[in-house]
Copies of this chain bind each other. A is one copy, B any other.
Amino acid sequence: MARGAVTIIDVAQAAGVSKSAAARVLARNGSVSDKTRMKVLEAAARLGYRPNHVARAMKSGATNTIGIVVPDVALPFFSAVLRGLADTARAAGFEVLVSNTDNDADIEARSLELLAEQRVDGVVIAPVFQENPAAIVRLDREGMPIVLLDRRMPGLEHLPLVSLDHVDATERAIRSLIEGGHRRIALVTEAAQVRSTLESLTSRTSESSDLSLLRPSAQRFVGYLRALHRAGLEIDDELIIRSGYTTGDAQQAVEAFLDRDTGATALHATDAVLSSGAYRGIRACGFSIPDDLSFIGFDDEDWTTMVQPAVTVVEQPRQRLGATATTALVGIIRGGAAEPREQLLEAELVVRGSVAAASLPSHTLRCEPIRTGVSAPSPSTSGRL
C-alpha cells in the first residue's frame, strides 16, 4: 500500500485531466474521447499505475476474493480441491484466501470470522463435523454466499453442497467385485452406524436428502449395503471391519479380520487412510494380492501404482470438486441465483491389477504374519485361479 502508490490522481495530473476522467478510462466504463483515453493510458503506463483493489473494494463492496476453509490443505484430497478451486476462481476474477481448521470447530469459527472481516465475497467450506455449526449458520444468515464441500450436517440443510456421490462410488466398487464373481466381500469402514440403521436407506431410490446428512463414511457404507442388496446377496456383519480413522487402526483391524476364517475373497476400504492401512494389513499377513485376496482402495494416491500389482481404486474427481464448488459459489455471488441444493459428482473406478476373478469357492486362509523388514516372497498358499 505504502508501495509505489501511484494513484489515479497522479495519473490524472500527469495526463492533464480530471480525476474522474482518468477513472473512467482506467475502469473502462463511461464514455471518454479518444484523445483523453490516450493521454490517460499513456500517463498510467509511464507512471506504472496499478489499480488499488482495496479502494475499489471499499467503494464497491465487493472484494473479488473468496475464502476456502478446509481441515488441512496438506492432505492430498484438499490440496487437489484447492487447485481446482483456485483455477476456477482466478478465471472468474477472484482471488483465494485459504484457512486450515484441523477439524477443530473453534478454529473453524475463528477462520470464518476472519474471512468475514476481510469481507470476502463468499466461502467454500468443508465443515468440521459438529453438533451446532453456529458460525456457519450465522454467516449464512448475514447473507454471506456459502457452498459446502464434501460434507453437510444438521443445521446446514439449506446450503448448497458439492460432493462426491459417495453412495454410488462405493456401490460401483462393490458391484464390480460382484460381477467378478466375488460373494464374500469385506468392507473396511470408519462409519459408526450399525448396519440396521443404514439398511433402510438401501432400498429407496432417491433418498439423497436424507443421505447427504450422513458422513461420507456412512454414505459409502450405504453404497456397500446397496450393492449387495441389489445383487441379492446376504449381508454378513462378520465381513464389516470397523476401524478408527488412522492407518494403524485400519491395519490392525484388517489383520485381526484376516486372522479369522471368514471366507472373504475380496476387500474394499472406503477411504484413502483406511486403504493404506488395509493394504499394509493384508501384506503383513503375508497374503498375496490378488491371488489370496482381491483389493480395491479408495482415492488414487501415488502409492497405488508403485506397489505391485498396482491397486484398483475408486478415484474422486478432486480438482473438479473444487472447480464445481467455485462455479456454484460465483453463481450465487453474481446472480444471487439459488444454486441446486446438491451437486454430486461421480467417482471413477480405475481398474488395475489388484482384483482377480473369484472362480473357486473360498477356502480357509489365515493370517500368517511375516518377518518384518524382509521383502516377502508371496506365500502363494492358495492356488486360486
CA–CA, A113 and B288, complex, Å: 55
- Asked if A306 contacts B319 (CB within 8 A), the reply is no
For residue A209, CB closer than 8 A to chain B, the reply is: no
CA–CA, A13 and B185, complex, Å: 68
Contact digits for A41-70, partner B, Cβ 8 Å, 1 yes 0 no: 000000010111111011011110100000
- Asked if B144 contacts A376 (CB within 8 A), the reply is no
CA–CA, A266 and B117, complex, Å: 56
For residue A37, CB closer than 8 A to chain B, the reply is: no
- Asked if B87 contacts A79 (CB within 8 A), the reply is no
Determine how close the nearest CB of chain B comes to the CB of A89; give it in whole angstroms: 10
Determine how close the nearest CB of chain B comes to the CB of A77; give it in whole angstroms: 10
Determine how close the nearest CB of chain B comes to the CB of A79; give it in whole angstroms: 4
- Asked if A51 contacts B86 (CB within 8 A), the reply is no
Selected contact of A376 from candidates B2, B60, B308, CB within 8 Å: B308
Chain A residues within CB distance 8 Å of chain B:
1-4, 48, 50-55, 57-58, 60-63, 65, 72-76, 79-80, 82-83, 86-87, 90, 95-100, 113-119, 121, 142-144, 276, 279-280, 283, 288-289, 291, 301-303, 306-309, 319, 353, 373-378
20 contacts between A and B (CB under 8 A): A1-B60, A48-B142, A50-B117, A53-B117, A54-B57, A54-B58, A54-B63, A54-B118, A58-B58, A72-B83, A74-B80, A79-B79, A95-B114, A97-B97, A276-B302, A276-B306, A288-B375, A302-B303, A307-B307, A309-B374
